[in-house]
Structure formats: C-alpha cells, structure tokens
Amino acid sequence: MAIVFQKTKGLTDKPTHYCPGCTHGIIHRLVAEVMEEMDLLENAIGVAPVGCSVLAYDYFNVDMHEAAHGRAPAVATGIKRVHPENFVFTYQGDGDLASIGTAEIVHAAHRGEKFTTIFVNNAIYGMTGGQMAPTTLIGQKTTTSPYGRDEATTGKPIKMSELLATIDGAKFVERVAVNNPANIRKAKKAIKEAFKVQLEGKGFGIVEVLSTCPTNWGLTPVEAMKWLEKDMMPYYPLGNFRKPEEVE
Amino acid sequence: MDERLIIAGFGGQGVMAMGQLLTYSGMIEGKNVSWLPSYGPEMRGGTANCNVTISSEPVGSPVVIESTTAVVLNLPSLDKFESSVVPGGNLMINSSLIEKKAERDDINVYYIPANEIANEIGNTRIANMVMLGAYIEITGAIKIESVYEAFGKVFGETKAHLLPINKDALKRGAEVVREQMKVNA
Amino acid sequence: MTKVLMKGNEAVGAAAIAAGCHYFFGYPITPQSEVPEYMSRELPKVGGAYVQAESEVAAINMVYGAAGSGARVMTSSSSPGIALKQEGISYCAGAELPCVIVDMMRGGPGLGTIQPAQGDYFLATRGGGNGDYRLIVLAPADVQELVDLVMEGFDLADLYRTPVMILGDGMIGQMMEPVEFRYQPRTDLPDKDWATRGKGKGKQRNVINSLYLQAEELEKHNHKLQAKYAKIRENEKKVEEYNVEGADLVITAYGTTSRIAKTAITKLEKEGYKVGMIRPISLYPFPNEAFEKIGENCKGVLTVEMSTGQMIDDVKISLQGRIPTYFHGRSGGMVPEPEEIVEKVKEILGGDR
C-alpha cells in the first residue's frame, strides 16, 4: 500500500500540552516539516522560550536549548557563534519576544545574527493565565486589563514586525497567520524563505505568526479563529515587510 | 632594596608610561615589581598618578602610601604627595610647571626643569623621560639599559624610532640632577 | 617561558585564550573594560568570536548558548553588571553549564563607585540568583595568581560542569605585574557529549535545560547538584597559611586585601608581635579546616575586608565560637592602609607580644 501521509520526523512522539484549538500545534508542525524538507534535522539547534511553548524542547526532534524568559535571541547568538555551520532557530511567544525580550530581539536583528525566529503572536500571556501582553488589542479584556486594554494608560499594541523591519540586519520579516488552509500554506512558505535567508548567510530572519488562544480569550476554537480574522488581522496586517532581493 | 614610588601629574604628561617603563625595567632585572594606576574620571584630563614598587622582596600591598620617592609633574601633585615621602626619601619636582618650593627639610628635594629640557630636545611630550633619567641617576634603582630594553615592550615596535630621542631625554635628566645630588649629599 | 608585564584585566583575557577559550560575550563597565577590549582585539586572531552584547543580561545568556554548545566561554563585568548577570548564572548552574565569569568588584550598593571593593562576597558565595546553587569562587591576590586561577577555572568548570567565578577587584584588574602563562590542561576532563552540536545521524538529541516541572524530578536534580558541591568541597579547597601555629592573633583576608594585611604583618613582626594569616583562595568551597587548626591559645581572629563584613560570616561558621572574632573593614572604594590593621591588632592584643 502506498503511503500518502506521514507525521514529520521533525517532531518527537511526545503528546503536546497545548489546549484544544490552540494553533501552536500547527506552527510546530510547519517548522518541523520545513526543517525535514530542507534536510536540517541532523544539523539544527533550536531555542525554546518561556511561555506556553516553554516545553517546545520536548517536541522538536532536534538539539534544543531552553532559554530564560525573553533571552532566546541571546542564547541563539551564543550557539550560532560557536556553530556557524549549524541551523539555529528560536521559537518565542509575544510576552517573551515583545515584552521582556525586546532588547534581545532588537539587538540580535541589529547585529544581523544569522538565525531565524518564529514569533507566535496571540495577543496575550497564555502560560501564566491570560494576562495583558504588549500585543493585546485595545479594549481586549485580560486578567490584568479587566476593563479592557486602555490606550491612555497602556499604549497601543506593539507591532514587532514593522519595528524589526526598520533594522538593516533583519533581512527577512514577514507576518503570516494560521487561520485557514490558504494562510497555513503561505505561513509554511514564509518559514521556508526565512530559513533560506539564514542558510545563505544573509542575516537575521523572523516570521510572525498570528495565533489563537481560545482558553484565555474565553472563546471556542471556532470563535477564536473568527476573532483572529475580524479583530487581530486588521491591526496586524499580513504580508512581507522585508526580504533580500534574491528571495523575491 | 625596596623602592616605592608615587608618580603624579596631569593626564597626558606620561606619568603612567613612566611608571610602566620603570616597572618593566625592574622586571627585566629580576626584581619584584608592581604598577598600580589611579583610574576613573580623573584620567580624562584631570590628575593622574601611579604607584610603582620595585623590591628584592615579594610585593605586599601594591598601594604606596609612604613613598621612597615622589615624582610630581604639576602643582596639585606636589601639594598632594609631598607628605607621602618617608624621611630621607626623594621628592622630584618638575620645576618647569611648578614654581612653588618644597616645604619639608627632612627629605632630598630635586628641581628638574623637565619640560624645558624636553622642548630643547624637540618634543615636549618626553618630559616624563627626563624625570625618569633623573630618578635613575638619583637612586640607581635600575640600569638605564633596562629602560632601553623595556621601551619596545611598553610602546611597541611602531614607536621604536622614537628610542634615540628618549635616550637623549634620559641622559639630560641624569645630567641635570648630578649637580643637585652633590648639594643634597 | 619569559615573563611579561601585564595589567590584571588584560591578563584575564590572555589566560582565557591560553586555556582554549575562544568565545567572549561582554559589556563595558569600569574597572574591567580592558577585558572586553583585549578580547575584541585578540579573539579574531585565534578564529574565535567576541560579541559586545546589548546588556549584561544578554551577555550571560549568550554564554549559556555557547557553553551549551560545548565551547569554553567567558564573560566579565564589575559589580552592578554582575548583579544583572545573576539570572543567567542561575540558569547555567541549573543546566550544569561550564563557564567562567569574572567579577572585578567595585564599591556599592547601587551605582556605587568605580573604586575597588569586596562587597560582592555574599553575591558570589551565596548565589545572587534564584535557587539552591553554588559557584566555585576563586579569589586571586596578584596578577600571576589571577592568570593561574582563570586557567584552572576553565578546567574546574569542565570537570564539574559548573560555572566558576573569579572574584577580583578594581585594584587587581588595573594593576600591572609580571606574569607567565604555563597552562597544562588536565587530562581527566570528561567529553562534552551532552552539548548541542546538531544531533547528527541516528544519535540521541541533546537538550540544555533547567526546567523540571515535576517537583520530584527537580528535587532529584537538586540532590544531584548538592552531591556535586559536596565533591567540590572535598577536593577543591584552596588556602594559603602563614605562621598560623602559635600565633597570638590570626588575620584573615582574601584577594588584594590580603596583600595589605601581609604588609601589616611584616610591620607587626618587626615589633615582636606573633601574627599569622589565613588567606582563603577558594571562597567557595570555603577552607574552613584552616580555621579549625587554630590553637586555643590564639587570642583572636581578625577578618579584614573591603566591605562592611561579609566573609567574616564564614570565618565565624568555621570557628564555631571557639575563638573571639574581630573585624576591620573599609568600603565604598576606600582601601585599608597597613597602619590601620597594625593599630587594630595592637588594640586587640593590648601589650601582649
């Protein structure tokens, strides 16, 4: 019998701890599939963050580091400087990357570090129980913005891709979403292109993935997908912000 | 022997380099040595000083509080370090920039017009070497040949062409204190 | 090998490179900036990498990544910067990553001063970071010992898979003394088969991690760390003793302060006082046995520090109340003078000599 589908070798057999309807699982699979397709599994070294994907080191079937909160880009810098021939990536959430780790991500991009970051933006702190993130939308209720995020006291949601695209060392910056099959295919393509930028030694690359958090948003998985489309995507427009000419 | 020096002046007068040359020379001669600089904001255009120990015994505290010789290249340094000299020790004053005389009479005081001599030789920046030449003449703590050897180590190959003019400065410094040594003796 | 005259901070860099450290992640801060300056100049010549991090926090996390990748790696800073590194140091201890961290201490608390001090003793020996961990802490008293301990530090780090801290101060970092480099690597160092290098074909993958969500697992891990620290206490104590036996009074001091104490002891001996000295070289593990050997006739143990009194806690623990303890300290960047110590000893001993 012909095999028509197989689970990627880029993921371990360990069942993930993610909530039902969470899109981390899809994003893990995309990253793992691309690594497998590009023959990177034996060579890759990944860095897991602190947040919902803290246990990513149990799921990606490659050598992994678990970093302190926000410091994954610094840890990846250390790894890549020692092993410039290895493929190095970080996998970070929005609390990790857009709040406590802004200095690390900005300066890794600024130095043009040759690794790739997968940035999962679900507009909330998931692991700690649904607190406000810098990416939380105006009016969005969280456990630390119980009356809805107020622009006057907490500012507007931070747009990391737009910010990082202003930095010359960031050679590939794209925002994608995993809300429907078409966008999932686009997300996979963006991840592949970002990996290629690293492998060709061009510099830093980041793919921001808009993701859902039904548990902490207080929505069903289907409602969460709709909220992502209706509320998140208008504020966080999808698309490429930077790429080297050769990749276009 | 136990030579404990304080060398002090403005930043840029070469007090650190003078101390390093002396320290390196002592090391070349197999003595125990240490060099301790003042550091921080005072380095940037303010006063600078370093402590040098050259000893036949292992160096204990590298901090020189009681100096066997104080070399002062500007007035604030004279005011600050005259009291540090042990009775019978040496106070070497750069008389080109310091008009004031020493107040103590229990130490040997030398007045060296270091900047004038350096200018005569053709480079005002080697006033420190004039003082170094004078120091070696006064104390005999190290051989002048050791300074020649240390010169390349401290300043690097690119400054090797400056050795002749520095030798000149060392010699002139030695000459200028010879007369004063007779008086002090 | 011939001696060269080197500044303490530059000697740190030269010693590290001689010991095979090709990676340095740092951030400028007085009085240790000559270390990153030296490394930025010299590491490219040996095919290594120097990265000026955006902060001390980032620097220590780069160390975490490089150490986890199997490389010999170092970072250096001075007190306020070392405070910032505590997060990463705790992670390195938890993930059992070998690395060398140099602290050229300056006065504190807060921004404090750039002048030398020894106020980081607690931070270094008790762990400034979170959790049940210890560092090997080595305190050199001169530039040659600084070089030797940096080199040995890399071996100890690899041998025990643990971070090693070199605890100096602004004085030893800034001063110049003759040094020679005579590194002989240990031959009993284990392979770093736990490091991430890409898992390769058919091999078990490696994970560098300090997270144990199951309490039972973390307790087991902590016991493993404690067993390692017990072994370190058994094997790695370093101390210099001088005339302790029969001394009327023993002075104890570490690092540059011990040199000032030595000068004071020389003065006291000339006046007929019988004063010995214990100089802990390893602050963790603390050489408590040296204090246990002090005879009952000794009238006191005087701890001298450039702090308001930190190592004296370990001295008291070691003496267990057997002998009276005294303290003389200067802080805020003030360096004690030998004469102060002489006076203090005379005050304690009265006319006894």
**pLDDT averaged over every residue in chain A:** 96
Beta strands C275-280 and C282-284 are: unpaired
pLDDT at B41: 55
In-domain check, residue A114: yes
Of C166, C32, C51, which is closest to residue C99 (Cα–Cα)?
A: C166
DSSP-based three-state secondary structure for C249 = strand
- Cβ C208–A64 below 8 Å, yes or no? yes
Q: How far is the C-alpha of B60 from the C-alpha of C264, rounded, in Å?
A: 9
ipTM computed for the complex: 0.94
| Minimum distance, in Å, between the CA of residue C210 and any CA atom of chain A | 7
Mutate to test the interface with C, among B39, B64, B151 (most CBs of C within 10 A): B39
Q: pLDDT tens for residues B128-181?
A: 999 999 999 999 999 999 999 999 988 988 888 999 999 999 999 999 999 888
Residue whose entry in the numeric block shows the structure tokens 């990676």:
C23
The alpha carbon of residue C350 is apart from the nearest alpha carbon of chain A, in Å, by: 56
Within 10 A of A129 (CB to CB), how many other CB atoms are there? 12
Residue A211 lies in a domain: yes
Q: What is the pLDDT of residues B41-73, one digit of tens each?
A: 555 556 899 999 999 999 999 999 999 999 999
Tally the domains of chain A.
Answer: 1
Contact yes or no for C64 and A76 at CB 8 A: no
The answer as to whether A7 is a domain residue is no
Mean pLDDT across the stretch B82-102? Answer: 97
Q: Which residues of C touch A74 (CB under 8 A)?
A: 53, 57-59, 61-62, 64-65
Tell me C189's DSSP state.
P
Token reading at C339: 């004469």
Q: How far is C317 from chain B (nearest CA, A)?
A: 28
Q: Which one of B40, B62, B154 has the shortest CB-CB distance to C175? A: B62
A83 vs C: CB within 8 A: yes
A82 and chain C in contact, CB less than 8 A = yes
pLDDT in the model for residue A63: 98
Asked if the Cβ–Cβ distance from C263 to B60 is below 8 Å, we say yes
Select the residue of B33, B37, B65 nearest C177 (Cβ to Cβ).
Answer: B33
pLDDT at B157: 85
Smallest Cα–Cα separation from C323: which of C343, C306, C350, C303?
Answer: C303
Please tell me the distance from the alpha carbon of residue A65 to that of residue A79, in angstroms, as a whole number. 9
CA distance C228 to chain B (A): 36
Q: How many domains does chain B have?
A: 1
Q: How far apart are CA C183 and CA C20, in angstroms?
A: 10
A24 to chain C nearest CA, in Å? 20
Partner residue facing C176 (CB), from B20, B63, B65: B20
Q: A176 pairs with which residues across the strands?
A: A209
Check which CATH number belongs to the domain holding A81 and give it: 3.40.50.970
Return all residues near A228 (Cβ < 8 A) that are at least 6 apart. Answer: A177, A179, A210, A211, A212
For residue C49, give the chain A residue with the closest CA.
Answer: A81
Q: What is the pLDDT of residue C201?
A: 87
H/E segment holding residue C50: strand C49-52
Strands B67-72 and B85-94: parallel
Q: B8, B72 in Cβ contact below 8 A? A: yes
Amino acid identity for residue C72 in this structure: R
pLDDT in tens, A83-103: 999 999 999 999 999 999 999
DSSP C205: P
Residue A174 within a domain? yes
Residue B29 contacts residue B143 (beta carbons within 8 Å): yes
CA B28 to chain centre: 18
Structural domain includes residue A147: yes
**Chain A residue nearest residue C64, CA to CA:** A75
Q: Residue B81 belongs to a domain with what CATH number? A: 3.40.920.10
Please give the Cα distance from A48 to A70 (Å, whole number): 10
Please identify among residues 117-146 of chain C the ones whose CB lies closer than 8 Å to any CB of chain B: 142
Q: Give me the tens of pLDDT residue by residue for chain C, a chain 353 residues long.
A: 589 999 999 999 999 999 999 999 999 999 999 999 999 999 999 999 999 999 999 999 999 999 999 999 999 999 999 999 999 999 999 999 999 999 999 999 999 999 999 999 999 999 889 999 999 999 999 999 999 999 999 999 999 999 999 999 999 999 999 999 999 989 999 999 999 999 998 779 999 999 999 999 999 999 999 999 999 999 999 999 999 999 999 999 999 999 999 999 999 999 999 999 999 999 999 999 999 999 999 999 999 999 999 999 999 999 999 999 999 999 999 999 999 999 999 999 987 66
Please tell me which of the candidates B36, B37, B60 has its beta carbon nearest to residue C262.
B60
C-beta separation of C303 from C327 below 8 A: yes
Name the residue in chain A with its Cα closest to that of C201.
A42
Within 8 A of C213 by CB-CB distance, chain A residues are 55
Flag if A74 and C58 touch (Cβ within 8 Å).
Answer: yes
Does the CB of C55 have a partner CB in chain A at under 8 Å? Answer: yes
- The DSSP bridge pattern shows strands B85-94 and B47-55 to be unpaired
The full DSSP string for chain B is -EEEEEEEEETTSSHHHHHHHHHHHHHHTT-EEEEEE--SGGGTTSEEEEEEEEESSPP-----SSEEEEEE-SHHHHHHHGGGEEEEEEEEEETTT--PPP--SSSEEEEE-HHHHHHHHT-GGGHHHHHHHHHHHHH--S-HHHHHHHHHHHH-GGGGGGHHHHHHHHHHHHHHHHHHHHHH-
Inside any domain, residue A13: no
A75:C211 CB<8 A:
no
A202 three-state secondary structure: coil
Kindly write down the DSSP assignment for every residue of A38-86, as one continuous string: TT-TTTEEEEE-SSGGGGHHHHBSSEEEEPPTT-HHHHHHHHHHH-TTS
Q: Does B86 touch chain C (CB under 8 A)?
A: no
Q: Looking at chain C, which residue has its C-alpha nearest residue A50?
A: C211
Could you say which of C4, C177, C338 has the minimum Cβ distance to residue B61?
A: C338
Q: Which helix (H) or strand (E) holds C47?
A: none
Contact C260 B63 (CB under 8 A): yes
> Do C198 and A42 count as a contact with CB atoms less than 8 A apart?
yes
pTM for this predicted structure: 0.95
Q: Is residue A131 part of a domain?
A: yes
Q: Does C72 touch chain B (CB under 8 A)?
A: no
- The pLDDT, as a whole number, for residue B100 is 97
Task: Using 70 as the pLDDT threshold, list the residues of chain A that sit under it.
Answer: 246-248
From the number of C-beta atoms within 10 Å of its C-beta (0-12, 13-18, 19+), residue C325 rates as middle
**Strand, coil or helix: what is C82?**
helix
Q: Give chain C's domains with CATH numbers.
A: 4-196+206-235 (3.40.50.970), 239-349 (3.40.50.920)
Question: What residues of B are in contact with residue C256 (Cβ under 8 Å)?
Answer: 62
Question: Which domain, by its residues, includes B78?
Answer: 2-184
A201 in a domain, yes or no?
A: yes
Contacts of A3 (CB under 8 A, 6+ apart): none
DSSP string, C273-298: --EEEEEESEEES--HHHHHTS-TT-
Please tell me which residue, B35 or C2, carries the higher pLDDT value: B35
Its domain, for residue A75, covers 24-247
Q: Which chains touch C (3 or more CB pairs under 8 A)?
A: A, B
Residues 20-79 of chain A whose Cβ lies under 8 A from any Cβ of chain C: 41-45, 47, 54-55, 57-58, 61-68, 71, 74-79
Q: What is the pLDDT of residue C254?
A: 98
Contact C54 A62 (CB under 8 A): no
Short-list A73, A9, A26, CA closest to A225: A26
Residue B40 predicted with pLDDT over 70: no
